[in-house]
Structure formats: C-alpha cells, structure tokens
Chains A and B, each alone.
Chain A
Amino acid sequence: MGDLSAAFALALDLVLSGDPALWEVVALSLRVSLTATALACLFGIPIGAALAVGRFPGRGAVLVLVNACMGLPPVVVGLLVYLHLSRAGPLGFLGLLYTPTAMIAAQCILIAPIVIALSRQVLEDLHAEYDAQFRSLGLGRAAVVWALIVDGRHALATVALAGFGRAVAEVGAVMIVGGNIDHLTRVMTTAIALETSRGELALALALGVVLMALALGVNAAAQGARLAGARHAAV
C-alpha cells in the first residue's frame, strides 16, 4: 500500500530531521503518560495488593466495579475531569484546565482501574502461593502487602506497561482536558487527530509510526531493566 510506505518514509524523515516540534510533542507525550503511569501505580498497586489480601464484605462488588472501570471510555474520563477542572467546576480555582497536569490527572484516572485490577489478579495468585509461609512467619497485613509487591515486581512491571500503553495511546481524554494547544498540551495522539482532520493522512500515519516506536522503546527499556535486574540477582 502506497500510503503506508509513504508514511514509514515520512516517519523516518521526521525522526532523522530532528524536527524540534516533533520532539516537543514526543517529550510531552512521554512526560504526561509516564507520570500518569507512575502515579497510578503509586496508588493502584497498594490498593490492588490490599484487595488481593483483604477479605471484607462487599469485596466482590468492589472487584466487579474495578474490572468494569477498566473499560472506561477515555472521552468519558476526559469529560469528568473537565467538569471538575473547569473554572465553573469544583476544582476550577486550581486553574489546571488545559495544562499537562490536567492531562496527567485524566490519564491517571483512566488507567488506575487497569493497574488496580491487574495487580490484584497478579498478587492474589502470588498470595495463594505464599499465604501459608507468611502466616507461619506471623506477618502482619502491611508486611504481607509489601512482600507481595516486592516479589511480584516483574509481573507488576508488566501491569505498569499495560497501563502506560493505554495512557500513551488514548486521545479522547487529553483532547478534552488538554485542548491540544500547540507547544503546551499537544501530544502524539492529539497531533495525530489534528493531522487526520487536516487531511494530512500520511503525516498522521507517520506520527502513528513514531508513537508505536515510542511505545516499543519504553517496553524495550523496561525489558532491559528487568534482564539487568535478573542478572544482578544472579551474580
């Protein structure tokens, strides 16, 4: 397909030419989505671990709710965050609408259910394996949660990557709360949407290729870190 090869050529050209506008957008994409992922993990993994270990009334309902929220449409999350951050909204006084912070908040909310639900699953399996040993040691709840997180770190890294993948690929939420403002809140996905609506399909596709390369790079870096970690532990 001619369009596709043209897009790849254009993508290569964009990257090699070191177009500062491209790097600005790439850097903001990385900053927003990586920060959102880090925040979602900071809160989501302990919550997921608590759900994996804890037994309380209504736990089943909470799990169903969290699992359902994995399918939250980005546009809906964007709207919810917009309604809160709008000057007319309850958090309007913060003046965060149309800033990267608002985009980070939206993506964080978007992927938190994914991080919670997947880490709950991963850590529950691990907990089933460790439970007798941990109770034999007489560990408290917090010590169990922390040990599960430490020992589940490789699986949790994959969970984080899943969250990052969803964050960096979504357009609906950042479009609404970021506004796709040039030099301020324009990220890869909103730039792709913009070029598509300009009819610049090859350029849009080229940006898509760059975005995929970006996701590939982050995943490769994570894999590399994991291998290095494994080698370190093996020494």
Chain B
Amino acid sequence: MTARGWMAAIVLLAAPPASAERIVVQSTTSTAHSGLYDHVLPRFERATGIDVAVVAVGTGQAIRNARNCDGDVLIVHAEAEEEAFVAAGYGIERHDLMANDFVLIGPAADPAGVAGLPIADAMTRIAEARAVFVSRGDDSGTHRAERRLWARAGVDAAAASGAWYRESGSGMGATLNVAVGMDGYALTDRATWATFANRGDHAIVVQGDPSLFNQYGIVAVSPQVCPDGNADDAATFVEWMLGLDGQAAIGSYVVEGQVLFHPNGQADAMPMRSRPTR
C-alpha cells in the first residue's frame, strides 16, 4: 500500500461509524453488572429499533455525566439527588422505576455477631467491635444509603476511616472483592450480591429491614438544557420502561430463583413528551 493508502486506511478506522439512532443511559454499576440491561434492553430495541448504550458508573458520577449532557436518560438510586437534578432543570421529571433492597454481607464467622439484627443495631455493633467494614467511598447511591444508615445508628464511621472503616473508592464489585479479601462487612444491593461470583465464605447477615429499601428512579434529560441530545428517543425509552412491557421485562429478570428488581413504576405517571423545536 502507498503512504497515502495507509493514511486513508487509518483515517477510515479512526472515523466514527455512521451511527444508527441511539440513546445513552447513564446508570449504576449495580443495574448494569447484575445483567438487568442485557435482559431488558434487547426487548426494547426489538420493539422500537432504538439502540441503547449503557454507561455504568456510580450514581454520583452518572448524575455529573448527565449534567454535562453526556447521557439522554438517568437510571440511578438516590432520590434526593434525582429530584435536585430535575429541580435544577437538567431533567424533565423523575419517576420511580423499580426497587430492591440493600443487604449487609459479612464473613461466615460473623465476628461482630450481627446476624439477624435490625440494621441500625448491626451497624452499631460493628462499630463497637471495630470489625472491618468496607465502604464504597465513591459518592455512589449505595454509599449515600450507607452513610444514611451510619447516621441513623449514631456512628461517625468516617472518623474511623483507615482503621476498621475502609473506603475502597471503587465500584460495588470491586468493593465486594475487597470485603471478601479482608474478611470484612459491606453494604451492597441485593442484585449485585446475587450475581457476584467471588463470594468466598461471605453471606448475607442482615436483610429485610425497612430502612434497607433501595428505590431506583428514571429521569429523561431535558432537551432545553441539552439540545444536542436524543430527547425523542429518550422519551420513548422512559415511556416503555414505565409501561407494561418494560415493567414486565424488569420483573421477569430472575437469578437463582429470585427477582432482582421489583418493578414499581407508576403507569399513570407517564412522562410528558417534550419535543425540541425543529
């Protein structure tokens, strides 16, 4: 090949593909890594012909990316931040999408003796026993939920950071790997734990407490703020996810006999279609 031929080939390889219509969903690692989207999205894509690209990061990062208009839809689990996102004009409207619950996992030996306790008591006991607890430490939805639980238990866990309280600063799976490696406790959403393969001798020690409820919300990014986004297809996606087909798809994702995400979108709260003027 001539030098010019090589150059042309390189430019061709580097050029972006003539892309079909697609939307970018900024979402959490828990939803993506548990395989939910692999189960749900093909149905949506078949029904509508719209491609969906999921970027899986922590809730905090997902919201920041969406604020930069680098996503068309947000699916995260931190209701207060989602409402703030909408209030600031970045999102059109927030809807409940689905829910599951957080669980406290720990080593089989349960050194702090927390098995079966209410979550507040369990966390107090972990702090008293100075048992290793591995936190996400990454401003994710799970991290926020965990901090709320510490506050409710009256424990200043952050003060023990580096001692028994270890902040991994990484995603859910990486944090679980650390917890397993350190024989520590960790708070995780049920879906990630159910699909996590490297459990070692760790198991769920606390679950079912009402304050462990984990609500996921869905927000379409506002075309007023992000005119370059794909608002039409985003609205279609949100409608579908909250509608019968989407909710059924979410509810039918079963791993090891358990439903990982319980659909609780309100069918009567359909999003307003907001069309950019063309």
- Residue A198 lies at the interface, judged by CB distance under 8 Å to chain B: yes
Contact with B along A86-102 (1 / 0, CB 8 A): 11110011011111110
Q: Is the CB of B173 within 8 A of A87?
A: no
Given known contacts A198-B196, A201-B198, A101 and B70 CB-to-CB distance under 8 angstroms? no
- Give the residue among B7, B10, B14 with the most A Cβ atoms within 10 A: B14
Q: Is A197 among interface residues, defined by CB-CB distance under 8 A?
A: yes
Contact with A along B239-259 (1 / 0, CB 8 A): 000000000000000000000
Alpha-carbon distance A88/B65, docked complex (angstroms): 9
B15 within 8 A of A: yes
The reply on A181 being an interface residue by CB < 8 A is: yes
Contacts of A189 in B (CB 8 A): none
Of the candidates A96, A104, A198, the one having the most CB atoms from chain B within 10 angstroms of its own CB is A198
Whole-angstrom CA separation of A25 from B260 in the bound complex: 27
Closest Cβ of chain A to B51, distance in Å, is: 8
Flag whether A196 is at the interface (Cβ < 8 A).
Answer: yes
Q: How far in angstroms is the closest Cβ of chain B from A134?
A: 22
Chain A residues positioned under 8 Å from B170 (CB to CB): 197
Asked whether, in the complex, the Cβ of A38 is within 8 Å of the Cβ of B68, the reply is no
> Which listed residue, A39, A92, A93, A197, touches B10 by the CB 8 Å rule?
A39
Q: Chain B, interface size: which category?
A: 35 or more
Q: A93-B228, A198-B33 are in contact. Are A98 and B7 (CB under 8 A)?
A: no
**Judging by beta carbons under 8 Å apart, are B171 and A197 in contact?**
yes
| Segment at the interface with A among B53-61, B111-119, B127-135, B209-217 | B53-61
In the complex, which residues of chain A have a beta carbon less than 8 angstroms from the beta carbon of B174?
196-197
In the bound complex, CA of A125 to CA of B173 (Å): 49
Look across to chain B and name the residue whose beta carbon is closest to the beta carbon of A203.
B197
- The distance from the CB of B44 to the nearest CB of chain A, in whole angstroms, is 14
Distance (whole angstroms) from the CB of B18 to the closest CB of chain A: 11
Contact with A along B16-49 (1 / 0, CB 8 A): 1101000010000100010000100000000000
Tell me how far the C-beta of A170 lies from the nearest C-beta in chain B, rounded to whole angstroms: 17
Contact for A198 among B67, B70, B197, B229, CB less than 8 A: B197
**Which residues from chain A contact B195 at a C-beta distance below 8 Å?**
198
> Residue of B at shortest CB range from A176?
B57
A212 within 8 A of B: no
Bound: A199/B29 CA distance, A: 13
Chain A contacts of B229 at CB under 8 A?
A: 87
A-B contact count (CB 8 A): 91
Are A197 and B14 in contact, CB atoms less than 8 angstroms apart?
Answer: no
* Given A42-B10, A197-B29, A198-B196, A86-B56 contact (CB < 8 Å): no
* Nearest chain A CB to B188 CB, angstrom units: 11
A39–B7 Cα gap in the complex (Å)? 9
A199 touches B228 (CB 8 A): no
Partner of A35, one of B10, B173, B196: B10
Residues in B neighbouring A199, C-beta threshold 8 A: 173, 176-177, 196-199
B20 to chain A, nearest CB (A): 11
Question: Is B172 an interface residue when CB atoms closer than 8 A count as contact?
Answer: yes
B75 at the interface (CB under 8 A from A): no
Contact call B56/A184, Cβ cutoff below 8 A: no
Across the interface, name the chain B residue whose C-beta is closest to A200: B197
Which of chain B's residues 48-103 have a Cβ closer than 8 Å to chain A? 53-56, 65, 67-70
Q: In the assembled complex, which residues on chain A have CB atoms less than 8 Å from the CB atom of B53?
A: 98, 179, 181, 184-185
| In the assembled complex, A151 has its CB within 8 A of some CB on chain B | no
Enumerate chain A residues within 8 angstroms of B196, measured Cβ to Cβ: 198-199
Question: B33 to A100, Cβ gap below 8 A?
Answer: no
Residue ID in chain A nearest B22 by CB atoms: A184
Across the interface, B197 reaches (CB within 8 A) one of A38, A89, A96, A201, namely A201
A93 to B16, CA, bound (A): 14
A119 at the interface (CB under 8 A from B): no
A61-93 residues with Cβ-Cβ distance < 8 A to B are 86-89, 92-93
Contacts of B55 in A (CB 8 A): 98, 179-181
| Distance between B172 CB and nearest chain A CB, rounded to angstroms | 7
Question: 7 nearest interchain CB pairs?
Answer: A197-B173, A199-B198, A87-B69, A179-B55, A88-B68, A199-B197, A199-B196
A-B contact pairs, 6 of them (CB 8 A): A87-B70, A179-B53, A182-B54, A184-B53, A196-B177, A199-B198
Extra pairs beyond A181-B55, A197-B173 (12, CB < 8 Å) = A34-B13, A38-B13, A86-B70, A88-B69, A89-B68, A93-B228, A98-B24, A179-B55, A196-B174, A197-B171, A199-B176, A199-B196
